[in-house]
């Protein structure tokens, strides 16, 4: 029991793809992976942004699990916590947050030394770094473009986890520069109006909206096709 | 915008809140039952039957003319029975603490299918009292009518009788519960419709598809928190922070597995 508890603490429940690779949710993430691959233009490397209309809709959880399922295909994946206001990635993977994106945007350190191993093959992490007073201005700098070019050379998939799009402008700036944007919607929580507003904001930012991930979607008998195939 | 009625959506919403609908319906049934058995006072009904017949001593043969006359009389009698003239005497005789007016309301006089039989029914919260009233009314009426109409053509056919276990005519618990069930069902469906209309959140893939320009990449279901941890797909699942070298090594070992797991 003790070891079980220890493992539980080391592997947060959020990463269901890792803790329960055969679960329905894990399979659903793989379905999303396939759909993203079909929706995105054929590029040598793909930079994808995960955002949502408001907070706590599951951006970080979705981004982390998606990063793992992308890594499962053997492609090199970088997951970046671009939420420099309320960073969570370091908690999800239980790592330090001393260096990260904010430091790189300020021109301190280099990408290769700033990324951290996640413990999962092919998956690297870039934390948000120290919380800056001006995240939006940092993201708007040319340094981000240079950084993205560098990432394209090193990784096949770069996933950005961003702040909510309706609260702050950060996500808009990122959405404009990423190859595609995934909008996370919390089923039964997100208001239709705010999802529409988020869509309009992304359109204003000239973002390429890949589609919507419906989070917390209750399983009913209608969703028979998601039933566990292994059992 | 979406004011059109969608039966499928409606049924889905009902299905989703069937618990609430059943609960509200049951609550109404239980309320009806409790009200019927405890709050509402039971009302009993006693009935006497009176035969109206022209009792002329001389003529033995009864012809249709006589019967017609009797039928017309009955109409008059119906009114007389409920009139204060009779009821005041009844009240006096039984020493009731009641007015003729209130007593009238509890009396029904019917005449069965153009027959010469008149039924007098009295409702009361006590069966005994109802029986007593019905019989007294019949008796007083029989006596009074002789003076009023100068005829003796009324006889009591059947007196009201006290049964051992009288059943109240009101409230009828089964009937009340049935009404409660119907009202509860309507109420439950109403609440569900209102809740459904008030809920402006995204709840289905269709909701997203209705918003132009957005497609659903996939859904993610909530994870059962009691779910057991599975055996990891590959060897590197030590969450101690592996060094680069370690993870590179694992990659080689599991090269065949990675990417082939789905």
Number of helices (H), then strands (E), in chain B: 9, 5
pLDDT 10s digits, B193-226:
898 888 888 888 888 888 777 888 888 888 766 6
Q: What is the mean pLDDT of chain B?
A: 76
Query: Quick one: which of A142, A80, A78, A133 has its CA closest to A105?
Result: A142
Token code pair at residue B161: 């009788």
Model-level pTM? 0.64
Burial of B96 (0-12, 13-18, 19+ CB in 10 A): middle
Q: What residues does each domain of chain B span?
A: 7-39+171-198, 44-158
- In chain A, residues 81-120 whose CB comes closer than 8 Å to chain B: 94-95, 116-117, 119-120
Q: What residues does each domain of chain A span?
A: 16-230
As a CATH number, domain B44-158 is 3.30.70.1130
Q: Rounded mean pLDDT of B43-48?
A: 86
If one compares B58 and B137, the residue with the highest pLDDT of the two is: B137
Q: Is the pLDDT of residue B240 over 50?
A: no
Q: Identify whether the C-beta of residue A129 lies closer than 8 Å to the C-beta of residue A99.
A: yes
Cβ of A13 within 8 Å of Cβ of B225? The answer is yes
Nearest to B201 among A32, A192, A196 (CB): A192
- In chain A, residues 156-185 whose CB comes closer than 8 Å to chain B: 182-183, 185
Candidate from A136-145, A184-193, B25-34, B97-106 with smallest mean pLDDT: B97-106
Candidate from A4-18, A134-148, A206-220, B11-25 with smallest mean pLDDT: A4-18
Cβ neighbour number for residue B197 with a 10 Å cutoff: 9
Q: Rounded mean pLDDT of A213-227?
A: 70
If one compares A31 and B53, the residue with the highest pLDDT of the two is: A31
A/B interface, count of CB pairs below 8 Å? 166
- Core vs surface per residue B62-87: b (16+ CB within 10 A) or e: eeeebeeebeebbeebbebbbeeebb
- Say whether residue A212 is in contact with chain B using an 8 A CB cutoff: yes
ipTM over 0.90: no
Q: Is the pLDDT of residue B85 over 60?
A: yes
Distances B250 to A207, B237, B259 between C-alpha atoms, Å: 37, 10, 14
Contacts of B239 in chain A (CB under 8 A): 7, 10-11, 94, 119
Q: Is the pLDDT of residue B65 over 80?
A: no
Q: pLDDT tier at B81 (50, 70, 90 boundaries)?
A: confident
Q: Rounded mean pLDDT of A162-177?
A: 91
How far is A95 from chain B, CA to nearest CA, in Å?
8
Torsion sign across C-alpha atoms A15, A20, A22, A25: negative
Quick check: bond before B171 cis, omega within 30?
yes
Contact residues for B230 (Cβ-Cβ < 8 A; gap 6+): A19, A20, A21, A22, A23
pLDDT 10s digits, B150-205:
777 778 888 887 777 777 777 788 888 999 999 999 999 999 889 888 888 888 88
Give percent of chain B above pLDDT 90: 10
Q: pLDDT tier at B253 (50, 70, 90 boundaries)?
A: very low
Q: pLDDT tier at B42 (50, 70, 90 boundaries)?
A: confident
Query: Quick one: which of A76, A73, A79 has its CA closest to A162?
Result: A79
The SS3 of residue A117 is strand
Q: pLDDT tier at B4 (50, 70, 90 boundaries)?
A: low
- A16-230 to CATH, choices 3.40.190.150, 3.90.1150.10, 3.40.367.20, 3.40.50.300: 3.40.50.300
Rounded distance between C-alpha atoms, residue A21 and residue B23, angstroms: 39
Q: pLDDT tier at A4 (50, 70, 90 boundaries)?
A: very low
Q: pLDDT tier at B83 (50, 70, 90 boundaries)?
A: confident
Cβ of B229 within 8 Å of Cβ of A95? The answer is no
């Amino acid at each position: 029991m003790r070891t079980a508890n220890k493992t539980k603490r080391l592997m947060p429940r959020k990463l269901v793809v890792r803790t329960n690779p055969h679960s329905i949710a894990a399979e659903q993430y793989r379905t999303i992976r396939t759909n993203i691959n079909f929706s995105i233009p054929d590029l040598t490397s793909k930079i994808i942004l995960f955002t949502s209309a408001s907070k706590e809709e599951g951006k970080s959880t979705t981004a982390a699990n998606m990063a793992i399922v992308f890594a499962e295909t053997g492609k090199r994946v970088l997951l970046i916590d671009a939420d420099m206001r309320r960073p969570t990635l370091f908690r999800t993977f239980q790592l330090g947050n001393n260096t990260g994106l904010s430091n790189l945007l300020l021109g301190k350190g280099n990408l290769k030394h700033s990324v951290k191993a996640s413990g999962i093959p092919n998956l690297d992490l870039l934390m948000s770094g120290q919380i800056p007073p001006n995240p939006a201005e940092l993201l708007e700098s040319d340094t981000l473009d240079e950084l993205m070019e560098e990432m394209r050379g090193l990784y096949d998939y770069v996933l950005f986890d961003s702040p909510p799009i309706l609260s702050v402008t950060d996500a808009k700036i990122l959405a404009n520069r990423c190859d595609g944007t995934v909008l996370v919607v919390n089923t039964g929580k997100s208001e239709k109006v705010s999802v529409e507003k988020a869509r309009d904001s992304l359109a204003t930012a000239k973002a390429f909206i890949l589609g919507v991930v419906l989070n917390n979607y209750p399983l009913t008998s209608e969703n028979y096709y998601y039933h566990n195939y292994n059992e | 915008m979406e004011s059109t009625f969608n039966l499928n959506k409606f049924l889905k919403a009902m299905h989703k809140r069937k618990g609430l609908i059943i609960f509200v319906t049951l609550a109404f049934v239980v309320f009806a039952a409790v009200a019927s058995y405890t709050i509402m006072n039971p009302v009993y009904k006693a009935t006497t039957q009176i035969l109206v017949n022209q009792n002329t001593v001389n003529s033995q043969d009864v012809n249709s003319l006589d019967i017609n006359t009797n039928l017309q009389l009955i109409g008059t009698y119906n009114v007389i029975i409920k009139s204060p003239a009779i009821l005041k005497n009844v009240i006096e005789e039984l020493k009731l603490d009641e007015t003729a007016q209130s007593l009238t309301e509890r009396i029904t006089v019917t005449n069965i299918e153009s027959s010469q039989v008149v039924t007098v029914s009295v409702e009361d919260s006590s069966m005994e009292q109802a029986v007593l009233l019905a019989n007294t009314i019949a008796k007083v009426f029989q006596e009074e009518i002789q003076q009023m109409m100068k005829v003796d053509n009324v006889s009591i056919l059947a007196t009201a009788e006290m049964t051992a276990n009288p059943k109240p005519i009101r409230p009828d618990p089964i009937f009340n519960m049935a009404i409660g069930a119907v009202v509860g069902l309507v109420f439950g469906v109403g609440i569900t419709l209102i809740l459904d209309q008030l809920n402006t959140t995204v709840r289905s893939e269709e909701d997203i598809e209705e918003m132009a320009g957005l497609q659903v990449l996939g859904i993610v279901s909530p994870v059962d928190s009691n779910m057991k941890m599975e055996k990891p797909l590959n060897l590197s699942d030590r969450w101690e922070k592996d060094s680069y070298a370690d993870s590179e090594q694992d990659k080689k070992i599991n090269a065949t597995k990675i990417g082939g797991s789905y």
